[in-house]
Amino acid sequence: MDQNELAKTARMALPFFASGTVVHGFGRGSKELGVPTANLADEVVDNLPDQLTCGVYCGFASVNHGTVYPMCLSIGWNPYYKNEKRTMETHIMHSFDKDFYGEILKIVIVEYIRPMLDFKSLEELKLAISSDIRISTEKLLEEKCAEFSKHKFSVHLSSTLIDSCRTESSSLSLSNNISLGRVFTASLQS
């Protein structure tokens, strides 16, 4: 697939809502890159739709149903580190006092930024990520993206709800909102 097709395919899966436990990665995000990332549990990564191709995306995130912050995330095998497992790593544009391993991370992915790339040096990877953070911060201020910061996600486990939601004339595509067998509905905060 060429880059345009990759971007087009990825955008078909957006907006994408997901929620899961934060698990330990390799710990390089903070140490080597100076960019802390929260890795989502395998159950979420293993159930991503095929359209959500490997790459860098941006959106909004909240930890333990708290404040919604802008974020950018990578989905893929981190070719620079030659990972053998696909990961989903969220960098939240906020300075937290502590780690949140084991806590619940909810995200909505609203835009695709670029494909996942290999780099010749750590410096190049760091530069690419700081550019991603800048681009994401700007994009998320655009109205079509910013509106998603006003959504709060509530989780329903009932399959009946999945069926009833399917018939709702929601502006959000439901198929994008199922993860871990749950439906993540979005309702506007008052």
Ligand X SMILES: Cc1cc2nc3c(=O)[nH]c(=O)nc-3n(C[C@H](O)[C@H](O)[C@H](O)COP(=O)(O)O)c2cc1C
Binding site for ligand X (CB under 6 A): 25-29, 33, 35, 37, 39, 56, 72, 74, 78-81, 89, 91, 116-117, 125, 128-129, 132
The residue nearest ligand X at its CB is 25
* Active site annotation includes 123: no
Burial of 31 per CB tally in 10 Å (0-12, 13-18, 19+): exposed
Give the nearer residue to ligand X in terms of CB position, either 101 or 181.
101
Cα distances (angstroms) measured from residue 65 to each of 13, 44, 62, 70, 151: 23, 18, 6, 14, 12
List of E strands, 50-141? 55-63, 69-76, 87-92, 104-115
At 26 the three-state DSSP class reads coil
Q: Pick the closest to residue 174 from 3, 9, 15, 11 (CA basis).
A: 15
* Least Å from the CB of residue 6 to ligand X: 13
Q: In angstroms, what is the minimal distance from the CB of 165 to ligand X?
A: 31
- Identify which of residues 20 and 29 has a Cβ nearer to ligand X in the complex: 29
C-alpha distances (whole Å) from 186 to each of 84, 99, 149, 154 are 34, 26, 10, 7
Our CB check for ligand X shows the closer of 35 and 178 to be 35
DSSP secondary structure string for all residues of 159-188: HHHHHHHHTS--SS-GGGGEETTEEEEEEE
Q: Of 120 and 144, which CB lies nearer to ligand X in the complex structure?
A: 120
Q: How far is the CB of 104 from ligand X (least distance, A)?
A: 18
Minimum distance from residue 101 beta carbon to ligand X (Å):
11
Which of 89, 103, 111, 168 is flagged as catalytic? Answer: 89
Active site residues: 89
